[in-house]
Amino acid sequence: MNQSLPGIRKTVVIHAPIEQVWQAVSTSEGIKKWWMASTLEPVVGCEFVLHAGPYGDSRCKVTAVDPIARLEFDWDTDWHIAFQLKDLGDNRTEFTLVHEGFDAQKSTSFGQPHTAVREIMDSGWESIVKEKLPSSVQF
* C-alpha–C-alpha distance, residues 57 and 95, integer Å: 26
Share of the chain above pLDDT 90, in %: 86
Residue 60 has pLDDT above 90, yes or no: yes
Q: Convert the pLDDT of each residue in 101-119 to its tens digit.
A: 999 999 887 788 999 999 9
Q: Count the Cβ atoms, other than its own, within 10 Å of residue 101.
A: 18
Measured CA angle at 27 (ends 24, 31), to 5 deg: 55
Decide if pLDDT at 65 tops 80.
Answer: yes
Mapped onto helix, strand or coil, the DSSP state of residue 43 is coil
Mean pLDDT of the region 69-81: 95
Question: What is the pLDDT averaged over residues 54-73?
Answer: 94
Identify the band that residue 98 occupies on the pLDDT scale cut at 50, 70 and 90.
very high
